[in-house]
Amino acid sequence: MNPQFPANRVELEFSQWKAREERFNTLFSVTPAENKSLLAEKLRQFERISTKYKSSKNIEEQHTLRILKMEIHRMSKQLYPNLISRTLRKIITSIQNQLSLRSDAKKHEINFNSINEKVRCIGFPDLSEKIKNLIDKEQENFSVPLSYYINEKEKIDHTLCFSKNAEGHFELDGFKSSLQNNSAPEYSREYYFKNGLENNFKLNEVYNLLSGRSVEHSQSWFQFDFNDKDASGNYHLKEFRNEYAYDLEKTLKAIPLKEISNAYEMEKLKNTLRQGDRASAVLIKDGRENQVYIEANPQFKSLNIYDLHFRKVQITSSKKEIKPDSRIQNGRQALKNQSVKQASKSKLRQ
C-alpha cells in the first residue's frame, strides 16, 4: 500500500477475509466454491463491507467496491438461482446490514470516547482527532507520538500504543516515555508504562519518576532503580507500601519549615511531595530564613533538601539545625585543640 495515498479500507477488510478463508481451507480442506455454507458466509461478509463503505469518497475504495459488487452478484446468483428469492434476500440483508452497522457505529463511538477519556485522565492533551483518524484506517494496532520541552534543557517524548482486543475494540496498551537532558545526555531515561499495570501514573508523575524522584500512588510510594533493568530494558520500579512506615508529616515536622505553621499549609506541601514534585520551602535557622528545595525520600524515611544551587544540604533533625560541612567542623575542632594547647603552655610557664 502506497503511504502517499489514503488507506483503502475495503481492500484491507477484503484481505482480512482472504486470510480467514485460507485458514478455513487449511483446517477443513474446503473452499467457498465447494462448500455452500462457507460461500454464504463469504457473501454476507462482502455485502457488509459493501454497505459499510458505500458512501466512501476515496477513489481507490470506490473502484474496489465496484469490483466487489460484481463478485457479490456472481456469488448471489450461484447460491440463489431463483430471481424472486434473490431479490427478497437482497432487501432483507440490506436492512439487516444497516441495523448492524448502526449498532457497530454506536459501539465504535463508545469505544472512541472511552479511549479519549483514558488518555485525558493520564494528562495527555487533546489527541482525539489523531486517534480517530488512525482508528478509521481499520488497522490492528497503531501508535501516537507526542513530544514537548519541560524546560530549556529537558525534553520528553511519549509514544502511546493502541491495539484491538478480542471484541474488535481498541484499547490503550500503554505508553513509552523518554526524558532527555540536553546538558547531560547520560541521564536520558525511558520507561514503558503498561496500562493498568503501573498504577496509571499521570504525566507529571511520570516526569518526576524519570527525574529520579519518588511518587505516592495507590497507598504506596514508587521510585525507579536506575541501576536495575529487566529483560525488556525497563528499570525496576521499587515500591514502598504503607507498612514500610514512611510518615511524611512526621518527617516534615522534624525540621523547622516556615510553610507548615498551619494545617492547610502542611496538607498543601504534602500533596506536592506526594506527586513527586520538588517543593520550594523556607528553612528557619538561628532566626533566619533560608530558601531551600525539598523532595520526599521514602526509601530512607527522610527528605532530600537542596540549597538554591541544588546542592544537597544535610539536616540534623533532632537538633533542628543544618548540619555543618565536615571541613568547617574539623577546622573549628583544630582551632579548639590549638587554644587548649596554648592555654596549657601558659600555665606551665607560670
Q: What is the tens place of the pLDDT at every residue in 208-245?
A: 999 999 999 888 999 999 999 888 888 999 999 878 88
Measuring CA to CA, which residue among 15, 23, 13, 82 is closest to residue 47?
13
Output the pLDDT for position 33: 65
| pLDDT attached to residue 3 | 46
pLDDT at 248 over 50: yes
Mean pLDDT of 28-41: 78
What percent of the chain lies above the pLDDT cut of 90?
A: 48
Q: pLDDT band for position 162 (50/70/90)?
A: very high
Predicted confidence at residue 261, as pLDDT, reads 67
Distance from C-alpha of 299 to C-alpha of 216, rounded to nearest angstrom: 12
Is there a contact between 198 and 205 (Cβ–Cβ < 8 Å)? no
Taking residues 139-152, report their average pLDDT.
Answer: 92
Task: Sort 284 into a burial class: Cβ within 10 Å, 0-12 / 13-18 / 19+.
Answer: middle
State pLDDT tens for residues 124-138: 999 999 999 898 877
Average pLDDT over residues 281-288: 84
d(CA 34, CA 304) in angstroms, rounded, equals: 75
pLDDT level of residue 325 (50, 70, 90 thresholds): very low
Q: How far apart are CA 115 and CA 170, in angstroms?
A: 8
DSSP, res 323 = P
